[in-house]
Structure 1
Amino acid sequence: MKSYFFSPSRMILLSMAFAIIVGTAFLMLPQATYQPIAFIDLLFTSTSCVCVTGLSTIPFESFTPFGHTILLILIQIGGLGLITLTLFLFSLFTNLGLATQVMTGEMFDLESWKGTKQLLIFIIVVTALCELIGTYFIYQTLKIHFDPSNALFYSLFHAVSAFCNAGIYPLDALMNICAHSYSMLIVTSLLTILGGIGFITLKELYRTYIYSSHYERRMTLTLQTRIILSYSFILSLGSAFIFWLLERYHCLISLTTPHQLLTSLFTSITTRSAGFFAIPAICMQQASLFIIMVNSFIGAAPGSTGSGIKITTAALLIATINTAIQGKTAVNIKGRRIMKDQIYKALAVVALGIAWILIVTFFLLITEQGWQFIDILFEATNAFTNLGATLGVTPYLSTLGKFLIMITMFAGRIGSLTLMIALRKREEKNEFLFPEERVMIS
């Protein structure tokens, strides 16, 4: 019984469910909202914050300062993970047991469980530094528009929301401020990048280039880090250029060319997982919406605050397709051969992700009448990828539609493959090798 509940996948599932329930309970307090709000809408909001999605059936302005504080805490828990925060607190007062270190290593998919305590400390320190520095720079802009106390709180909220890739504006006015401020666009983009490339990547970059010996400086980065950095760079610049080409005479037409380019880059970076928009998605062309859906499906890096199928998964998929086209059997990336079990997992993650989005889209087309297909597909995709963008569907969801989106946000955050593993009955791994036989592929 103990082993059933304490596997890493089930611990992640249970901790997120616990955070959502507790968050909903706090949001139900009279001090949290200006007027009574239905339970399902509060549950939806709590789920959205813990899953760092940003979709909401009610305006975030419906919450009081106390309610916004609860939302901020839920976003922070969702971004870092309740288990990570709990283990960090335990590590301050006692040494983590062997079983706990091994479980932590499995959660972060580490090759070795050694040094997990140092990793937890690194995660918290980097998070605190990034969010505090981001708060300072954002405050320089917001202090012009709000009184000092509100400007400070909204700056902190925005910094946490950006670093945790939540993409939540506590006030609608902040979107307009962000859209017209070069500094806000740049700081938000940098926070989103830092939160989205993953703590393992940040730790490796820090170890290799900042705090290292002369010998370590000459060491090459791991394959995972090289994939994350190169693919992030290509995706960000590539999709930014495409977005600019599509929208420069459309929704970007009123901006100067430098502002257009910066807004395009901002949109490219934040639509991979965060969901901040300088321009409402509803104003964009359908081709741009398609780019956003592809971007969000790929998502951020593993071990980060972002979601999606992850950059490394997309890289493995591309490499596998390239291998098949060339008629080879070994999948290679940047001079390294990929293990078959990782290829199988990557294919499963992509297939399950696409299947989940299509199934949810099908049911939403039944439950939500009167919407265009692109509206529903965009809603389902961005719920699963935790991007949190909508074309106006979310506030008008039916009760069944709200539950579908909540389940989709939850599945997208922990990963559809992780969810399947967590829910299945644990069995002994007895693999039998059957006789081989070929089937026609095409």
Structure 2
Amino acid sequence: MILIGFIFLILPISQAPGSEATLFDHFFHTVSLVTVTGLVIHPVAQTYSLFGQIISLILMQVGGLGIMTIVASAVSFMGRKMSLKNKLVVQASINREDATDFRSFMRLILRYVLIFESLGFILLSFRFVPEFGWGRGLFTALYLAVSGFTNGGFDTLGAVSLAAYVHDPLVNIVISVLIFLGGIGFHVWFDVTKLIKRWSQRTNKKHIRFFFRELSLHSRLAISVSFFLIISGTLTFLLVEFNNPNTIGDFTFGQKLLASSFQTITMRTAGMTTIDFTEVHSFTLFSFILSMFVGGSPGSTAGGIKTTTFAMVVLLIINESKGQKNVNIWNYTLPVSLVRNAVVIFLIFLATFIGGTGLLSLLNPKVDFIVLMFESVSAITTVGMSARLTPTLGVLSRVILMILMFVGRIGPITMAETLARKDKETKNIQFVDGKVILG
């Protein structure tokens, strides 16, 4: 997909007048689009014509939904049957527990995507059509709706992203909701929808907390961690940047709250911004590095280690500190294999992030280390937020960012399994117990 997109984007018809992008720049942009990251060397609006922007929109949409989902849906709609082996591959790629009623499941995913993006497109049109006219206004609304829902972070507004709309409630709220819906995952959509239907048919409706308890454990964890990160991130940004005149210091309290919540929501997964991140405090960058590292939820368009993986690691630490042998939450005991996989994913992701940051620091010794960390985690978590560092980096540094984007999109654990040498049969070998002193 990256190679196909690259061929289309280097065509003369795809170039905007005065575009300064080189072949390498186009390749970098294509990797960023397909991995729905958002890092760019040159702004999309100044690089690509309308045709090129349409190609970038398609690449972002396909990258957001996932290659497996697109191919499986196309095969399913053509009436062709998929083998059980291929169904299991797609099932794993979208984190589905079973492969039954596969065609209906794929159609349901695409239906939800169409509904969410269409609603976002319609609402955003009320802002951009009066400003830009019908043609450009509708395309801008469509581009931002797809970019928000796929957590792509791209826009066609220029080099300053959404800075002109920092005080616009419609743009901020609509894009924030799209980002949240895209980053929460297919499973949560379906779970909440089914539960709402059941509750609407009941005569005696209980308190909202009972509604939450009837959700699946996965949905409860994903929603709880997501809201915790959003609320804590908003408060952190608001408190740290409250008096910073270069960010939100001169805003009213309502404007500060709107800007803080938008940066927090988009920072976890999407990469759009309404302020200049080169002017924020170092602690703000550090807090968002942690937020980006967690990212969105499984089965979503977002990156990061995922909310449920983060929850597993935290629960393991809490239960171990209490001397609890099992990892328990909400009257559930989590399987050891599940917790073990979470720890492995966390460590591989962390190692990849540290390695990428280390290489960037070697190649750019004069750049502030916190900024290099910010750029590195933004790439591997496919957030795409930049402190304006990417356009200034050399070729090798950009190659490192492309590798991080690619690995972050397909998943570090997938890359590790692909590169590792495996025997034909997995053997569980056990020797005499060994004792090592810890701490």
TM-score normalised over the length of structure 1:
0.92
Partner of 1:15: none
Partner of 1:79: 64
**Paired residues of 2:286 and 2:370 also in contact (CA < 8 A):** no
Partner of 1:111: 97
**Paired residues of 1:360 and 1:404 also in contact (CA < 8 A):** yes
Distance 1:97 1:208, change over 3 A: farther
Unaligned runs of 5+ in 2: 206-210
Quote the Cα distance in structure 2 between the aligned partners of 1:426 and 1:91: 32
Is 1:50 aligned to 2:37, yes or no?
no
Distance apart, 1:221 and its partner CA: 1.6
**Paired residues of 2:289 and 2:373 also in contact (CA < 8 A):** no
1:89 counterpart (63, 68, 74): 74
Partner of 1:243: 237
1:40-439 aligned within 5 A: 40-60=24-44, 61-94=46-79, 95-172=81-158, 175-210=162-197, 220-250=214-244, 251-427=247-423, 428-439=425-436
Distance apart, 1:138 and its partner CA: 0.6
Unaligned runs of 5+ in 1: 1-18
Quote the Cα distance in structure 1 between the aligned partners of 2:436 and 2:218: 34
Distance apart, 1:44 and its partner CA: 0.4
Distance apart, 1:55 and its partner CA: 0.5
Deviates more, 1:316-325 or 1:96-105: 96-105
Deviates more, 1:377-386 or 1:202-211: 202-211
**Paired residues of 2:270 and 2:383 also in contact (CA < 8 A):** yes
1:237-293 deviation line (CA, Å, top 9, x unaligned)? 111111101111112122111111111111111111111111121121111111111
Distance 1:174 1:360, change over 3 A: closer
Partner of 2:3: 21
Deviates more, 1:263-272 or 1:305-314: 263-272
**Identity score, percent:** 29
Quote the Cα distance in structure 2 between the aligned partners of 1:187 and 1:289: 25
Distance 1:174 1:243, change over 3 A: closer
Quote the Cα distance in structure 2 between the aligned partners of 1:101 and 1:182: 43
Quote the Cα distance in structure 2 between the aligned partners of 1:369 and 1:163: 36
Quote the Cα distance in structure 1 between the aligned partners of 2:381 and 2:93: 20
**Paired residues of 1:195 and 1:305 also in contact (CA < 8 A):** yes
- Where 1:111 maps in the other structure, the secondary structure is coil
**Paired residues of 2:312 and 2:342 also in contact (CA < 8 A):** yes
Output the aligned Cα RMSD.
Answer: 1.8
**Paired residues of 1:31 and 1:64 also in contact (CA < 8 A):** yes
- Where 1:280 maps in the other structure, the secondary structure is coil
TM-score normalised over the length of structure 2:
0.92
Distance apart, 1:100 and its partner CA: 2.5
Distance apart, 1:214 and its partner CA: 5.4
**Paired residues of 2:167 and 2:259 also in contact (CA < 8 A):** no
Which runs of structure 1 show a deviation greater than 6 angstroms over 4 or more consecutive aligned residues?
Answer: none
Quote the Cα distance in structure 2 between the aligned partners of 1:374 and 1:335: 40
**Paired residues of 1:96 and 1:117 also in contact (CA < 8 A):** no
